[in-house]
Structure 1
């Protein structure tokens, strides 16, 4: 199988949102007592991913307003937040407003409406006339990228919008934590005439234009060493939900891609700082193997090749912590492991 490691690395990747969402799910929670009424927080996540390959930086900055004050660990990290969510790679840029509602420490609901621009670089964007039988393997994506300019199969620059919504649910008993990170999206891209679907490397899915897709990560974690270390296992799944509009007349729907699945260890290490600190970094690692995929379980890439992520997540408060609040964190309970 032919690859372009450096070029593809500058394109986007699915795991980024996964990582970002996982960190946002518990990030910036105060460790010692309730957070202040008003906060401006940020998070910048930069990651490298392999299989599929990618390199991206993704950020969030938002104002948080605490809904109520509580001394209970299960309730005290509550807020409503509005902000901005920019992301950049060599292949695309995304930016849009976000809103988060966290009624209690264990539940977060969020939404982002983003504008997306593909530059036409590094073999992306690639689109297809039907979800039935479309080949979006790494080898085929690279082959199409080598075609002459103007070829109807070559990648191209374009733009569009996307609505993303998610729900993060998490619980902890002693050093053991469990959580589910669910997200759903609906893209609206300006595709080439006649094309109905496109390959979204961000999620490693063949996505229907103006159609829905979902992904979910379930984690079981151990947190130790003063909550600096999080280690555990993750099961991930994702699927595009096609409608009749995503098939050419007469195409067989059973030839469309199904769900993808992978499982394996995850880990994170947080360089803990006091609550409300302007900067707190975390190192993130994911090493999973594909259980089900159209191209990553032997069809184009060997099943032995892992899904690998290495990331640096930096969070912080831009408003000084109130003098009455001793310490505040930027990555609740030790860096939440990657998504």
Structure 2
């Protein structure tokens, strides 16, 4: 029986069933939502004249210990993909404080799973937010590429064409392999009134088993050629306007793969597969419930134009729509 490859659109659609996208401005129910900015129901403190009573501003209760599940499902275009990511999180509040800086602080540990028809990533995550303006997450993922739908494809050096057409033409060269993925993700964030700003950096190290003589591979999540044993740096920076259930803003995203002698880059040889894009996004929470099995169901969408890319600059923009929610399994005061 002859195997017939699925269409390019179907392969792209199935490729990503993982999680990708919007890091949050403050600790939110869907922390793993790479990350959907969600408007907080707690308003900022207001300054009132000394002869007038301060308004009663109810503060959102923060549990001492919390066990919850986060989930995001995402469809994207250019590159095409469908992803789902889920994290089971056990979280402990650090400070019982009403201070703006110390109130929303925590430490947690999580089990993470990213799943697609072409790959599986599982592993632990630890995260600490010692102050509202700073968050640090460290993760490890065991990664398995299944060798279907054109993934994984690898190359002897990073000086290769990885456009959609080139990946489609090389689909028969895809193979199954596995490896390790380490991430350190510091985030700086702040909020003044309804305006929030956030910048998240990611320092990622890959150790993937590639075919003999090959040193780089195409990663569909970051849409670039990465070193099979080496580093890649990324950044997502947002300016966000929060209004009740709505969040709208602008995001900048950048990816910078790192190459060296192990990838054949020495002397005057240059390889630059970095890319950058910028564009608006928005999200809407269908409700703002907390402490239930279906918290903050949120629809999110974004469009971003490539400022720089080896094959996508000047073409269609990056687009995605997603749906996120979280489920509280346990909360203690």
Q: TM-score range by the shorter chain?
A: 0.7 to 0.9
Residue 162 of structure 2 is aligned to residue 136 of structure 1: yes
Q: Which residue of 1 aligns with 2:72?
A: 45
Q: Which residue of 1 aligns with 2:320?
A: 309
1:30/1:275 contact within 8 Å kept? no
- Structure 1 residues 14-163: aligned runs within 5 Å: 16-19=19-22, 22-23=23-24, 26-28=27-29, 31=42, 32-131=59-158, 133-145=159-171, 147=172, 154-163=173-182
Q: Which residue of 2 aligns with 1:193?
A: 212
Give the superposition deviation at 1:169.
1.4
Give the superposition deviation at 1:251.
8.3
Compared with structure 1, are the counterparts of its residues 222 and 143 closer, same or farther at alpha carbon in structure 2 (3 Å cutoff)?
same
Q: Which residue of 2 aligns with 1:216?
A: 235
Q: Which residue of 1 aligns with 2:222?
A: 203
Query: Aligned equivalents of 2:304 and 2:192: distance in 1?
Result: 25
Compared with structure 1, are the counterparts of its residues 24 and 41 closer, same or farther at alpha carbon in structure 2 (3 Å cutoff)?
farther
SS at the partner of 1:142?
helix
Query: Aligned equivalents of 2:25 and 2:145: distance in 1?
Result: 25
Give the superposition deviation at 1:115.
0.4
Name stretches of at least 5 consecutive residues in structure 1 with no aligned partner.
148-153, 298-302, 323-339
Q: Which residue of 2 aligns with 1:173?
A: 192
Give the superposition deviation at 1:265.
0.4
2:17/2:84 contact within 8 Å kept? no
Q: Which residue of 1 aligns with 2:287?
A: 272
Task: Give runs of ≥4 in structure 1 deviating > 4 Å.
Answer: none
Query: Aligned equivalents of 2:179 and 2:315: distance in 1?
Result: 36
SS at the partner of 2:20?
helix
Residue 303 of structure 2 is aligned to residue 287 of structure 1: yes
Give the superposition deviation at 1:273.
2.9
Structure 1 length as normaliser, TM-score?
A: 0.84
1:275/1:321 contact within 8 Å kept? no
Greater gyration radius: 2
Larger RCO: 1 or 2 (CA < 8 Å, sep 6+): 1
Query: Aligned equivalents of 1:247 and 1:46: distance in 2?
Result: 38
Structure 2 length as normaliser, TM-score?
A: 0.85
Query: Aligned equivalents of 1:252 and 1:94: distance in 2?
Result: 36
1:13/1:201 contact within 8 Å kept? no
Query: Aligned equivalents of 1:185 and 1:25: distance in 2?
Result: 22
Q: Over aligned residue pairs, what C-alpha RMSD do you find?
A: 2.0
Q: Which residue of 1 aligns with 2:262?
A: 245
